Every structure is written in C-alpha cells, then in structure tokens.
Structure 1
Amino acid sequence: MAESNHLSVRRQSCVFDEVSHAPPSTRCLLKNFRKRTVALGSVSNVIPSADSYNITIDDIFDYTTELYVGEGTFGDISIGDTITWPKPFVEPI
C-alpha cells in the first residue's frame, strides 16, 4: 500500500512540472493596457490558455479597470477572487 501512495505523489509532481510556464514567483502585479499597475495577485496552478493566467487577487489599486474576461471592473470583484489576466500584463515580483 505504501508503494501505491508513492506512485500517486509521483504523478502529482509530474503534473506540477507541466505547469512550469508560470512566472518564477507566484506573486505578481497586474498591469492595465497602459502598463500601469492595477492589482496585486498570485498566479494559481491552473493556466486557462496559452496567453493568460488565472490570478487570485490579493489587493486592488484601480477599481475602474475593466476585467479581461467577462463584463465588469475590478470594483465588481473581491479580494480572494480568481480572475483571468493576459500574460503580457502580468509582472512577477
């Protein structure tokens, strides 16, 4: 039974290795299209597409910035929510 658990852990680590496209630091700044910082967040382990990240929001600096996916602005979400943000506008810190 111990071998079975070991194999399970090994599989999970392989999946994690496949998600290594994330920035070296999971903490990041979210920039708007004018490259101004609008929020602070953390990259989640799930990458929705080749051109964007799932970001868990830690702090919001500009509540008027429009969300990348869906309608609304940062004023419509809460700290702790996860949003999708384009990779070119995510800066690792």
Structure 2
Amino acid sequence: MKGEFVGKSLQILEDPEDSIRIQNFSDPYFNPDWAEFGKDSLSKGYTRSSFWLRFKTKREDGFTGSHFWFLELANPASEEFKLYKKISGFPIRYEEVEK
C-alpha cells in the first residue's frame, strides 16, 4: 500500500488533566502550546494524560487524486482513540470520524 506516514508532520499537545474538549479548539482565545513531534510513530508509554494530535493532509506538491495517509499509534494498551476532522467555514467546527 502506498501512502505517507504523518508522524513527522504531527504536532502534539499533552493534556495531563484530561480537561481539553474538542469545543475548546473553536474558541479563538484558546491557544495551547503545541509541540512538533517529528517521529514516524507515536508511543508515549503508560500515562494518564490525554494527547491531542494535529496534522494537515493537504499535499503541497500539486498531486491530485486519491492518496492514503497512515498514522501509526504504537501503543496497543491505549484505551481510546477519537479522530476528528475540521469542517470548513466559521465558526470552526469539528466532527468525529466514525471508526
């Protein structure tokens, strides 16, 4: 299967209190400190923190057509994953992607 790993393009936000909700990202005054991740796969070990990830999927090389993106979460003990996609327009809205 051809595609790209997005790990090196990820930005990561640790939420140790599990207090951030998807609605926070629609608030123009919510400006968390995202960190560049820079690795192929994500593994944070055992922690009670929640982690938010973001990445862009728009290709800058002019490619059009179908393209696969891979995100490897290298911790099989993780309990829950949710994926949201940004919906165009304002106010900024997000929708959960079905698994």
Aligning the two structures, in what range does the TM-score lie when normalised by the shorter sequence?
under 0.3
TM (norm. structure 2) is 0.25
In our comparison, the structure showing a higher alpha carbon Rg is 1
TM-score by length of 1: 0.26
Higher helix proportion, which one? 1
Q: Which has the higher contact order (CA 8 A, sep 6+)?
A: 2
